[in-house]
Amino acid sequence: MPTKTVTGAVIAIVLVVAIAITFTLLTPHKPKHAERIEEREMQKIEVGERIKLSAPDYRGNTSVEEALLKRRSVRFYSGEDLSIEEVSQLLWAAQGTTGTGRTAPSAGALYPLELYLVVGDVEGLDKGVYQYRPVEHELEKRVTGDVQMELSKAAVGQNQAHVRDAAVDLVFTAVYERTTGKYGERGFRYVHMEAGHAAQNVYLQAESLELGTVVIGAFSDDKVKELVNAEEQEEPLYIMPVGRTL
């Protein structure tokens, strides 16, 4: 092949590669989660429909020791939105699956806890109540609309405005029969212990995400149950408001 033709071919290849690289660099990079949020905004989520959550991140920047050291109950929040990834992470920490088990221990692996997410301010997620489905790592919509104000009224005591002001509230309920069916009376204490394990996971995960939370045990059971549209056999155990810290 003549030298001139070879040089021409090389120049042509270099030009094509250069154009391809420039095109790739100039095309705005859209993160995967943004695509998911756009898809979600386009499709209105109705009661009974489900949303797939992003896979949890298993490598945070905070050590367990640091999270334990810094953990405190936080009742004042900045009012900013949480991202769907942060919500996914909190739910996974609370009750998510870990291959053969879950993030929190459970007597007899009977998993009596149910977990609801009351949404106030989350990017790409309508206000309302969603139930966390741990096995599928999905959210199922249970109630449409703003429930936080009513939930804060259901929480009794000095000042539980943090329930209203948080970006989200996690509500743990329990189906006692799942555990008492095997362990009898002693099963009640097991269920309460499990709520403690799950709640501590949320405290530590919130700390790692630089979010604030607090456990709330003072509320009207009937009102909370009705607001999250829980099943008849469920009893609410904890509300955990979560928000960005001030």
Q: Which residues bind ligand FMN (CB under 6 A)?
A: 72-73, 75, 157, 214-218
CB of 29 to ligand FMN, least distance (A): 40
Q: Report the Cα 134 to chain-centroid distance in Å.
A: 11
Closest to ligand FMN by CB, 72 vs 182, is 72
CB of 73 to ligand FMN, least distance (A): 3
CB of 81 to ligand FMN, least distance (A): 23
87-93-98-103 Cα dihedral, nearest 10 degrees: -160
CB of 23 to ligand FMN, least distance (A): 53
Alpha carbon separation from 234 to 115, 171, 172, 190 (Å, rounded):
11, 12, 10, 15
CB of 154 to ligand FMN, least distance (A): 11
Under DSSP, is residue 134 helix (H, G, I), strand (E, B) or coil? coil
The pair of three-digit structure tokens given for residue 104, joined into one six-digit string: 């929190």
Q: Which helix (H) or strand (E) holds 168?
A: strand 168-174
- Tracing tokens 């003072």 back to the chain, one arrives at 218
Closest to ligand FMN by CB, 116 vs 128, is 116
Closest to ligand FMN by CB, 138 vs 235, is 235
Q: Report the Cα 216 to chain-centroid distance in Å.
A: 18
Closest to ligand FMN by CB, 145 vs 157, is 157
The Cα–Cα gap between 222 and 83 comes to 30
Closest to ligand FMN by CB, 51 vs 163, is 163
CB of 157 to ligand FMN, least distance (A): 5
85-148-73-68 Cα dihedral, nearest 10 degrees: -20
Report whether 163 contacts 169 (CB < 8 A): yes
The Cα–Cα gap between 84 and 15 comes to 42
Closest to ligand FMN by CB, 116 vs 142, is 116
CB of 211 to ligand FMN, least distance (A): 14
Closest to ligand FMN by CB, 131 vs 160, is 160
The CB-nearest residue to ligand FMN is 217
The pair of three-digit structure tokens given for residue 166, joined into one six-digit string: 């948080």
